[in-house]
Amino acid sequence: MKKLDMILGGIELLVGVGVGTLVSSVLGIVKPANLGAIKKIAVGMAGMAISCMAVDKVNSYVDKSFCETARQVAEIFTKKPETEKETEEEEDEEAL
């Protein structure tokens, strides 16, 4: 799983940079033009907080989706013991 963890880390980094860039661009559009020094600092800090919140939520979603997909792919390619196959076949027959 170390390789998958490295891939996940890279994906989270790329997604984090992308989300941060998008949020910064949006905040640049909606930020008022005539702000004093204190308000500029406050708006900048608030923008950073909003960006961090967005990155955190998106990374949680990506992490959950990636792990679920990796688990499903692993299930497809792992061999199941014969007894487990028989049990699944019986369950499938009962479901019909």
**Assigned token pair, 10:** 């890279």
**Assigned token pair, 72:** 């499903």
Q: CA-to-CA distance for 79 and 64, rounded, in angstroms?
A: 24
- The answer to whether the predicted template modeling score (pTM) of the entire model surpasses 0.85 is no
Q: What is the pLDDT of residues 6-62, one digit of tens each?
A: 888 888 889 989 998 898 888 888 888 888 899 889 988 988 898 889 989 999 999
With 60 as the cut, is the pLDDT of residue 96 above it? no
Confidence of residue 85 (pLDDT cuts 50, 70, 90): low
Q: 3-state SS of the chain?
A: CHHHHHHHHHHHHHHHHHHHHHHHHHHHHHCCCCCCHHHHHHHHHHHHHHHHHHHHHHHHHHHHHHHHHHHHHHHHHCCCCHHHHHHHHHHHHHHC
Locate the domains of the chain by residue range: 2-95
Q: CA-to-CA distance for 63 and 57, rounded, in angstroms?
A: 10
**Assigned token pair, 78:** 């792992």
Confidence of residue 91 (pLDDT cuts 50, 70, 90): low
Q: What is the pLDDT of residues 47-78, one digit of tens each?
A: 889 888 998 999 999 989 988 888 888 888 88
